[in-house]
């Protein structure tokens, strides 16, 4: 007799226990139709996590189908743990971005650490060795003590895990806005490199093949974590929050090496990380992809403590675990290998021809579920969005004290130096880092070759709020600009779609329109989507976050040696590429002066984006250009301040624009540094770099500062906030 007593199916229905797990009445009725009977407690728990927003994308799936997912370089697109792209010479780059927002709001250190650990395992499970980490972060303003606490915890968690496991963190981006109060965004990206013949898939097939568990013993941490990540943060969700998952980077490192060793074995059939929804998602998804069934014997699962029920084992999100399918008769070979890595491992099941997931504990059947409907037939909701009216705002910042605007923007944490953050990360481990965090994309050499991978991550939430359709285009274009600025050819992208509740018609419209714009930009810029993640219900107790689609992109540098000795110096010329228009919707000057985001149309020419970007990239490689820096948040004035401060060089420039246009934020503009009198398409020489001083002159405004004053404000933007007494 089993020692676990679960509620009877009729009690589950009567008490609506399924609703506490996140299922609606209609979803519960669909489960009954699939099973042909009422589910038991373990079964309803399994359906609830697999049909959660986090796992099934039930509100976003219709929009994801718009994205182009194939292309010249794509070897494997969405559907597996990460995307795979060809980089020549039988090598491939593997990459993905994932969110860990809700866990980081609850426990910032472990939420961020386990987010990093999870994305690393996604890359490793494909067969790649990770070479670089990136992150995209959002917090409320650092004037609030809780936001400072969240920042400290998240940054410590990212550094604590990545540094210990030995993977450099080489790039990232951070923004601070009141909309993220209490609901920070923590998006982690990992990039790996592999030989193409080693590409793995999470597939369970071959009748009688064995299912092997490896990694940390299963505990009760993170049970219903996927469900928790699929609802708004509120008093009600707080009462249901799972125990926090704990990251263990030292076990993570052993599991990384053990997984790569297992992938070298010809008897390996399939492998998948036990991530969101743990053993439930990995087993059911692997069986579904293999068009097979699976029997699991849960009394064989390594557990951390006595008394863990089958329900808890299946829903636990204990970290540092992998699920493998290996050829029948070779399981001991794998167990011995994992023992050499000092990892717990066990044979916990077998592949069957039943097309069902069956769970046993001490010979008692705890669940009997058809695999395909569980994995692939979650309900899909198509709602009706509500498009807000355009504000038709009249922008006029000419009467503002624009010198004061400049000072306030460069000392704001969004625009200031992020050294407070990235100096807590190891960005050189592995000795292949060519360009690290600080100013632009990360660049890492492919070991043993002259090739390098450029990697960037970016998000433009205020643009998306102002104009979801064109803002969606701009976030893809912004990341494209970062990649070409290294001299790399953009190859493909991954996305993390962070929004509020899709049940709010305006937010649903943001999701619908921004993904439409993103899809068009992907096609126009030749950057197909090969992987991604959706994180909805990002709301605090009073409002939704700004819509924040985040784009991760990789590019290939064929011969990285062109970067050797590439530096800028005093007397180099400064050029502005692209025309400046009075584009202020979603801008930082609008936030500072008006404290709002107006709903206004933003314009972007994707054809121009591509041709201009690729032309500049070619001139950088050829040596005509020494530095490319896209104009982004804050406009020209902020970009020039960042450039001068980072490189310790002054500048003296003059532009034939109005003073307020220094803070305009239209796209497809770059600050370029080169020798004087270069012929650069669509460029105007606006001044020189100098040994000292900082001077920007327009038709009606001059900003004249000591370089030390500008650099000091920029470098101190975050530290001065973090030293505030909480």
Closest C-alpha among 452, 436, 550, 451 to residue 493: 550
Gap between the Cα atoms of 150 and 407, Å rounded = 26
Contact indicator for 388, 601 with CB cutoff of 8 Å: no
Which residues carry out catalysis? 54, 100
Count of C-beta atoms within a 10 Å radius of residue 432: 20
Q: Element (H or E) spanning 131, and its range?
A: strand 129-139
Gap between the Cα atoms of 639 and 636, Å rounded = 5
Closest C-alpha among 64, 186, 107, 644 to residue 459: 186
- Distance from first CA to last CA of the chain, Å, rounded? 55
Tokens of 619: 């001139």
Closest C-alpha among 497, 504, 487, 506 to residue 618: 487
Closest C-alpha among 144, 177, 181, 136 to residue 590: 177
Gap between the Cα atoms of 275 and 284, Å rounded = 13
Closest C-alpha among 214, 215, 217 to residue 334: 214
* Strand pairing class (293-297; 356-361): parallel
Tokens of 41: 């407690």
For tokens 């010809």, what's the residue?
A: 266
Gap between the Cα atoms of 303 and 113, Å rounded = 22
Conformation bin of residue 326: beta by default, left when phi > 0, alpha when psi is -120 to 50: beta
DSSP 134-199: EEEEEE--TTSHHHHHHHHHHHHHHHHHHHHHT--EEEEEEEE-GGGTT--EEEEEEEEEEEGGG-
Gap between the Cα atoms of 557 and 452, Å rounded = 5
* Strand pairing class (442-445; 529-535): unpaired
For tokens 């509500």, what's the residue?
A: 386
Contact indicator for 167, 130 with CB cutoff of 8 Å: yes
Contact indicator for 587, 580 with CB cutoff of 8 Å: no
Gap between the Cα atoms of 391 and 239, Å rounded = 40
Contact indicator for 324, 211 with CB cutoff of 8 Å: yes
Gap between the Cα atoms of 631 and 587, Å rounded = 12
Count of C-beta atoms within a 10 Å radius of residue 78: 17
């Amino acid at each position: 007799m089993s020692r676990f007593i679960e509620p009877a199916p009729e009690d589950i229905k009567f008490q609506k226990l399924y609703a506490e797990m996140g299922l609606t009445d209609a979803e519960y009725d669909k489960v009954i139709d699939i099973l042909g009977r009422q589910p038991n407690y373990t079964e309803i728990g399994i359906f609830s996590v697999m049909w959660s927003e986090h796992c099934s994308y039930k509100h976003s799936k219709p929009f994801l189908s718009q994205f182009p997912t194939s292309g010249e370089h794509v070897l494997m697109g969405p559907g597996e743990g990460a995307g795979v792209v060809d980089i020549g010479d039988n090598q491939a780059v593997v990459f993905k971005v994932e969110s860990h927002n809700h866990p980081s709001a609850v426990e910032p250190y472990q939420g961020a650490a386990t987010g990093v650990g999870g994305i690393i395992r996604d890359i490793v499970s494909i067969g790649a060795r990770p070479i670089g980490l990136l992150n995209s972060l959002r917090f409320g303003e650092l004037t609030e003590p809780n936001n400072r606490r969240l920042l400290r915890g998240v940054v410590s968690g990212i550094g604590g895990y990545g540094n210990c496991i030995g993977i450099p963190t080489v790039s990232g981006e951070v923004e601070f806005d009141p909309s993220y109060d209490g609901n920070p965004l923590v998006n982690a990206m990992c990039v790996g490199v592999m030989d193409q013949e080693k590409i793995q898939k999470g597939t369970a097939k071959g009748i009688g093949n064995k299912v092997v568990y490896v990694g940390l013993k299963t505990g009760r941490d993170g049970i219903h974590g996927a469900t928790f990540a699929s609802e708004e943060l509120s008093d009600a969700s707080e009462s249901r929050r799972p125990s926090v998952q704990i990251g263990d980077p030292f076990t993570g490192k052993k599991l990384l090496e053990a997984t790569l060793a297992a992938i070298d074995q010809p008897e390996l059939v399939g492998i998948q990380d036990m991530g969101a929804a743990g053993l439930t998602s990995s087993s059911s998804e692997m069986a579904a992809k293999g068009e097979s069934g699976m029997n699991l014997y849960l009394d064989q699962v390594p557990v951390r403590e006595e008394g863990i029920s089958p329900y808890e084992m299946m829903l636990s999100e204990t970290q540092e675990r992998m699920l493998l399918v290996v050829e029948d008769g070779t399981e001991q070979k794998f167990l011995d290998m994992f023992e050499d890595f000092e990892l717990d491992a066990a044979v916990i099941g077998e592949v069957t021809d039943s097309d069902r997931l069956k769970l046993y504990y001490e010979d008692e059947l705890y669940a009997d579920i058809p695999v395909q409907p569980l994995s692939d037939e979650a309900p899909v909701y198509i709602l009706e969005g509500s498009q807000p009216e355009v504000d038709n705002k009249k922008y006029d910042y000419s009467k503002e004290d624009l010198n004061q605007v400049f000072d306030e923007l460069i000392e704001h944490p969004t625009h200031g130096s992020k050294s407070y953050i990235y100096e807590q990360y190891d960005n050189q481990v592995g000795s292949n880092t060519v360009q690290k965090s600080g100013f632009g994309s990360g660049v890492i050499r492919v070991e043993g070759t002259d090739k390098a991978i450029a990697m960037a991550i970016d998000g433009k939430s205020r643009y998306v709020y102002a104009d979801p359709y064109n803002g969606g285009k701009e976030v893809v274009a912004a990341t494209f600009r970062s990649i070409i600025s290294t001299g790399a050819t953009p190859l493909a992208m991954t996305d993390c779609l962070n929004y509020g509740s899709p049940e709010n018609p305006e937010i649903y419209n943001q999701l619908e329109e921004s993904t439409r714009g993103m899809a068009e930009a992907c096609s126009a810029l030749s950057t197909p989507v090969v992987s991604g993640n959706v994180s909805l219900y990002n709301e605090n107790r009073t409002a939704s976050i700004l819509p924040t689609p985040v784009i991760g992109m990789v590019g290939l540098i064929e011969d990285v040696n062109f970067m050797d000795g590439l530096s800028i110096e005093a007397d180099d010329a400064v050029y502005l590429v692209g025309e400046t228009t009075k584009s202020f919707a979603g801008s930082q000057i609008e936030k500072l002066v008006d404290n709002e985001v107006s709903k206004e149309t933003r314009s972007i020419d994707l054809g121009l984006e591509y041709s201009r970007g690729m032309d500049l990239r070619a001139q950088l490689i050829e040596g005509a250009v020494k530095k490319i820096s896209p104009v982004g948040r804050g406009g020209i004035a902020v970009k020039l301040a960042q450039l001068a401060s980072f490189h310790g060089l002054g500048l003296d420039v003059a532009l034939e624009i109005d003073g307020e246009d220094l803070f305009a934020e239209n796209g497809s503009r770059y600050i370029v540094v080169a020798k004087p009198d270069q012929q650069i398409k669509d460029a105007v020489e606006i001044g020189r770099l100098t040994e000292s001083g900082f001077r920007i002159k327009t038709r009606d405004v001059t900003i004249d500062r000591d370089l030390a004053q500008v650099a000091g404000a920029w470098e101190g933007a975050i530290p001065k906030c973090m030293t505030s007494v909480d």
